[in-house]
Structure 1
Amino acid sequence: MAHWVRYQRSGAAGFGTLEGNTITVHSGDMFNGATPTGERIALSEVDLLAPTEPTKIIALWNNFHALAAKLNSPVPADPLYLLKAGSCLTNPGATVHRPASYDGKVVYEGELGIVIGKKATAVSEDEAGGYIFGYTCVNDITAADIINKDATFAQWVRAKSFDGFGPFGPVVATDVDPATLVVCTVLNGDERQRYPISDMVFSAHQLVSRISHDMTLNPGDIICCGTSVGVGVMKAPSNTVDIVIEGIGTLSNTFVQ
């Protein structure tokens, strides 16, 4: 297993593998032939960036049996998803601010993210694993009141694409079996979500295969697997949200009203 990170140091971006508090710097392409340079730097010397630069962020809806049962929603025959704007991305540790134009409920959604490692077009489920680079932590922040504000049109993309509403990271973990993972969301020190990825309606390989038949997936693209029960509103003036997935790491961000 490797934990890949992107970082900024002295105004320059770089990438490498993180072990403990040390980054082994690499050169080349993270997804295709990255080579260690021999340089090692302390994590404390850098600012972590979002670990990839995706061309798109795909976010699943109703992809967990437990949440479907709670909402009394039928299990979908095909993956149900939307696209979040690339401009919503922010870094691990970043502070996310309430949009000035919105005064309604803002919720956290702890999720597993699939990171694509090579261009995937119409791949089979059996082939899909070869196109997955690794997995990451996602907080799919949502302005909940916007979704159904207009009775004629569900505004999913707008609700989920405000600046800062797409933190992910801090690492991409390779050689992980997603079916063994558990997503935990902690709000201001209180655990609010804990659910197994094995409860997904569509597995990671099924998602990559099915979505790649709809659109080409590019290296660095993120598929946010959807969330399960326990989503809630961030009510405090300042909210610390940790998305914890053992085997990957902890994504921590602050949401300020």
Structure 2
Amino acid sequence: MKTWIRFRNAHGQTGFGVLENHRITQYDGEMFGTATPGAKLLSREDVTLLSPCVPTKVVALWNNFHALSEKLGKAAPSHPLFLIKPPTSVIGHGEPIQRPKAYNGKIAYEGELAIVIGKRCSNVSAEEADDYIFGYSCINDVTAAELLNEDPNFAQWCRSKGFDTFSCIGPAIQRDFDWRNAHVITRLDGVERQNYPLSDMIFSPAQQVSLISQDMTLEPGDVIACGTSVGVGSIKDGATVEVSIGGIGVLSNVLAGGV
């Protein structure tokens, strides 16, 4: 079971490799192409974790859990409902979420499972889709909540969720992950706010990849945020959000003040 990470070393150089027992085997090549283990071993304590992938886009789902759908009084969708978040929104474990300079309103967390695409993917079937999934990570899909319906004529999903640092991904990509038996747990300053089973998803990861690949080409390293369930709440400046999924790890980020 390989745990893949990206990192920056003490000399400012970036790399990637496999983490095991606090030791990193650095790899050569490309994570989503030909990757071969090198001779270099590093200590986890000697590097800074980065986002484990560099997506061209983050596809973020809405209304993909039965429990939240029932709470909202919404019918289960027949096709994944999603928005696109830009690559500039992506940060890794331990990096601060920056409050947008011109926004003083509510900022919300959403702890979710992230699917990481491993190879170019277009019009694949649900039966083929697992072959295109490189692995899984944690994501905090951050939202400037008061911007979403600021203009009553147009819901601003991309604007409210697309700010720099609003897609926190990490700490690692887990290749062999049984999502059916896992829970997403979100803690705010150590207090549990979300705890929901991934088995409650309306669209499974394979179904998401298949159906979204019929709408757009997914590139290696792209991320699908699987949507969240009940328990979404606001983050105060200086608060720490932890998204934990057993078998993957804990993603932790602090909301900083205005830049």
TM superposition score category, shorter chain reference: over 0.9
1:223 — aligned with what?
A: 224
Contiguous gaps of at least 5 residues in structure 2: none
- How far is 1:20 from its partner? 2.1
1:6 — aligned with what?
A: 6
Q: Distance in 2 between matches of 1:62 and 1:119?
A: 26
2:238 — aligned with what?
A: 238
2:189 — aligned with what?
A: 188
Q: Distance in 2 between matches of 1:208 and 1:165?
A: 22
- How far is 1:11 from its partner? 1.5
Q: Distance in 1 between matches of 2:220 and 2:227?
A: 20
| Native 8 Å contact 2:136 2:248 kept in 1 | yes
- Write out per-residue CA displacement over residues 222-253 of structure 1, whole angstroms, 9 at most, x where no aligned residue: 00000000000113x31011000000000000
Contiguous gaps of at least 5 residues in structure 1: none
Q: Distance in 1 between matches of 2:90 and 2:33?
A: 23
TM-score by length of 1: 0.98
- How far is 1:106 from its partner? 0.4
- How far is 1:196 from its partner? 0.6
- How far is 1:86 from its partner? 1.1
| Native 8 Å contact 2:140 2:169 kept in 1 | yes
- How far is 1:32 from its partner? 2.4
Question: Secondary structure at 1:126's aligned position in 2?
Answer: coil
2:131 — aligned with what?
A: 130
AA at the equivalent of 2:190: G
- Write out per-residue CA displacement over residues 175-196 of structure 1, whole angstroms, 9 at most, x where no aligned residue: 1122122100000010000001
Q: Distance in 2 between matches of 1:6 and 1:51?
A: 5
- Write out per-residue CA displacement over residues 70-128 of structure 1, whole angstroms, 9 at most, x where no aligned residue: 01111111100000011111121011121111111100000000000011110000000
TM-score by length of 2: 0.97
AA at the equivalent of 2:239: N
* Matches for 1:190-205 after TM superposition, within 5 Å: 190-205=191-206
Q: Distance in 1 between matches of 2:151 and 2:180?
A: 37
AA at the equivalent of 1:123: V
Q: How many residues align?
A: 256
Report the identity percentage: 51
Give RMSD over aligned pairs: 0.8
AA at the equivalent of 1:256: A
Question: Secondary structure at 1:17's aligned position in 2?
Answer: strand
AA at the equivalent of 2:221: G
